[in-house]
Chain A
Amino acid sequence: MNIVREIVWPLIAVLAAFIVGGIIILLLGDNPLNAYFLLLSNSFGSVRDIGWTLHYATPLIFTGLAVAVAYRCGLLNIGAEGQLYVAAFAAAWVGIKFGGTVVNIFGKEENWSWMSLPAIVLIPLCALAAIAAGGIWGGIPGLLKAKFGSHEVINTIMLNFIAIALVGYFTQYFYKIPGDPIQRTAEIGEAAHIPRLNEFLPGIPYDVPLNVAFLLALLMCVAVYVFLWKTKWGYELRAVGENPSAAEYGGISAKKQTILAMTISGMLAGMVGIGEVMGTRHHFEVGFSADWGFLGIAVALLGRNHPLGVLIAAIFFGVLQRGEIFVDAFTRYVSKDLGWVLLAIIVLAVASLQKYAKSRTGVVKA
């Protein structure tokens, strides 16, 4: 593998985005160098900054890996958003139903649960619920593609809307605390909470919400690498992505791999629910995702659909999300929406340069 060639195109795209973004900042009436200094110094300047940056990067590692796995099989999963929605709700549901008595937002003790399970059982159960729900929601378009040949792009878009409406319905009618103005569920039991890293790593400030889901995300980068390049299933999955007819000829079922890839993709996206519900919020909230599912497409694209690339790209987008807050606050005109613009230019540039960067990343066929 030619590593230089793998890295040079994404870097050109990022550079292009910063140049075009700089021109936009100039046109808006601010100093681009000042804006970029604010962006970078506040996302890397201290342990707290790095902690926040990694916290913002965590869901993007999961969704980036999700999109990458599907892409390696020649599929474009635009449905990570819906998958992480149902997954987060599933985790919250298990955490509510098996979590025992909780103190609600009005400070009153409440019991929504059927039974109270200890943390050692409840944490894996909640996590598995999230992974399973994401896997099912991702598997559906895989199955539809394998069985009926319907395009996964349209089906995943549709399933995003369906997921959001469905989960919104359950939240509103069944799991919302009466009187709560926000569309969110009751709190999950304390036994379902996963620890923040600052609880056992003394150097991290108390206000950094970075939790063990980040470690899970790192683990998943390794796991996806091993799966794709060191196992037979992974080999077959990539074979279908590179040339479906040749793979079929070699005795690999493209249909089976399509379902497998989409299910795994959905499971990875679903892991966002673990960090967000069990680590950060401790309940499910409608609209909790900052478009992570869609950003995952950009992460995977910039990361060349490789787990290491995804990790780096996710941290880069974490930098944008952390830094844009300070750019917003300390410049006169530029708001944090600059992040979206930079992101869009990066995606457009990477997609446009793809044809010059001939490498084996699997080609999406329409």
Chain B
Amino acid sequence: MDVVIFSLIFATIRSATPLIFAALGGLFSERSGVINIALEGLMLAGAFTAAVVSLQTQNPYLGFISGVAAGGAFALIYAIACIKFEADQVVAGMAINFLMIGLPALISGVIYDSTGSTPQIPLEYKMPRLTTSLSWGSILAFAMVPICFYVLYKTPFGLRLRSVGENPAAADAAGVNVIKLRYIAVVISGVLAGAGGAYLSTGQSSLFTKQMTAGRGFIALAALILAKWKPVPVLLACLFFGFTEALTITIQGMIKLPSGEGIPVQFIEMIPYVLTIIVLAGFIGTSRAPKALGIPYRKES
């Protein structure tokens, strides 16, 4: 029994790790007023780049950094579309997601002659491990929570970023460069989502497979909403969603209740989604998004 509980705890941490990275990424972007539906695609960018660079250079650190950089680079494209061209943020986000279905497969087809996945990354070139079941990626993810909290709430940068997401006109009048801050926030979100992706392909798994994020970017978004756009609740929401994922992985098929009845895994899978809808509808406390979320900023002249 203890073994089951231990393995479940570790599985929860492993499943929560990419969600924590991505949700914290979403936090920066959305607190600055830019919706980030592109988290899914940015994670894929990070996952693919990290896997390829780890394989080619045989250096996991370089792999991780490249994954993070790729996330940031594609977030910059997204930011230019949303901020400079004032594209509909949801639509532009979907475009990034589409791109990251196709581009990794296209490139992987040329390098490895397989569009479905990269080859296995040998254990010694994977993200270094703390124990057999935990890699340093998870530690980094958990460490990011207090760091993000500090940056958002205890630094002038964080204050400005939050003010830009709530009332950009007032922030502008107070001398804050709204456009620049939003660019920085979106790129940070790409960097973090890229880290989540890199963890997925080189930490949790040992190769990149097409669309390996399997909706985690959207779950991270759901966690962000459930957490009401606050860093510490983000951690808790991600752990909870990680737990539901761990349950479905650890216990295949039915989960037996003490009464003998079984719950199919599909119902466990649904929990995060149903919960998000309930929270959004305001049944368990209202969830208030940053006021300027989704609205492009244009300077009054």
Could you say which residues of chain A place their CB within 8 Å of the CB of B225?
A: 154
> In the bound complex, what is the Cα–Cα distance between A301 and B94 (angstroms)?
12
- Say if the beta carbon of B90 comes within 8 Å of chain A: yes
6 contacts between A and B (CB under 8 A): A148-B282, A150-B277, A153-B37, A169-B266, A337-B101, A340-B99
Minimum C-beta distance from B36 to chain A (A):
12
- Say if the beta carbon of A165 comes within 8 Å of chain B: yes
Given the contacts A338-B102, A347-B98, A352 and B92 also touching, CB distance less than 8 Å: yes
Could you say which residues of chain A place their CB within 8 Å of the CB of B257?
A: none
Contact B102 A355 (CB under 8 A): no
Chain B residues near A (Cβ < 8 Å) = 35, 37, 77, 81, 85-92, 94-99, 101-103, 105-107, 109-110, 115, 215, 218, 221-222, 225, 264, 266-267, 269-270, 273-274, 276-277, 280-282, 289, 293-295
Given the contacts A28-B106, A333-B109, A337-B109, A347 and B95 also touching, CB distance less than 8 Å: yes
Could you say which residues of chain B place their CB within 8 Å of the CB of A168?
A: 266
> In the bound complex, what is the Cα–Cα distance between A78 and B91 (angstroms)?
10
> In the bound complex, what is the Cα–Cα distance between A307 and B87 (angstroms)?
22
> In the bound complex, what is the Cα–Cα distance between A340 and B98 (angstroms)?
6
Could you say which residues of chain B place their CB within 8 Å of the CB of A204?
A: none
Contact B90 A153 (CB under 8 A): yes
Q: What 1/0 flags go to A158-183 for Cβ under 8 Å of B?
A: 11011001101100110000000000
Besides A28-B110, A337-B102, A339-B102, 16 new A-B residue pairs in contact (Cβ under 8 A), listed by A number: A76-B91, A144-B280, A144-B281, A153-B35, A158-B276, A165-B270, A301-B91, A340-B103, A341-B99, A341-B102, A345-B95, A347-B92, A353-B85, A355-B87, A366-B35, A366-B90
Does more than half of chain B's interface fall in helix, strand or loop, or is it mixed?
Answer: helix
The 9 A-B residue pairs with the shortest CB-CB distance, nearest first, are A366-B294, A340-B102, A344-B99, A352-B85, A150-B280, A351-B87, A344-B98, A169-B266, A337-B105
- Closest residue of chain A to B100 (Cβ to Cβ) is A344
Contact A297 B110 (CB under 8 A): no
Contact A154 B89 (CB under 8 A): no
Query: What is the size category of the interface that chain A forms with chain B?
Result: 35 or more
Contact B281 A366 (CB under 8 A): no
Contact A150 B266 (CB under 8 A): no
Chain A residues near B (Cβ < 8 Å) = 24, 28-29, 76, 78, 144, 147-148, 150-151, 153-155, 157-159, 161-162, 165-166, 168-169, 172-173, 291, 294, 297-298, 301, 333-341, 343-345, 347-348, 351-355, 364-366
- Closest residue of chain A to B276 (Cβ to Cβ) is A158
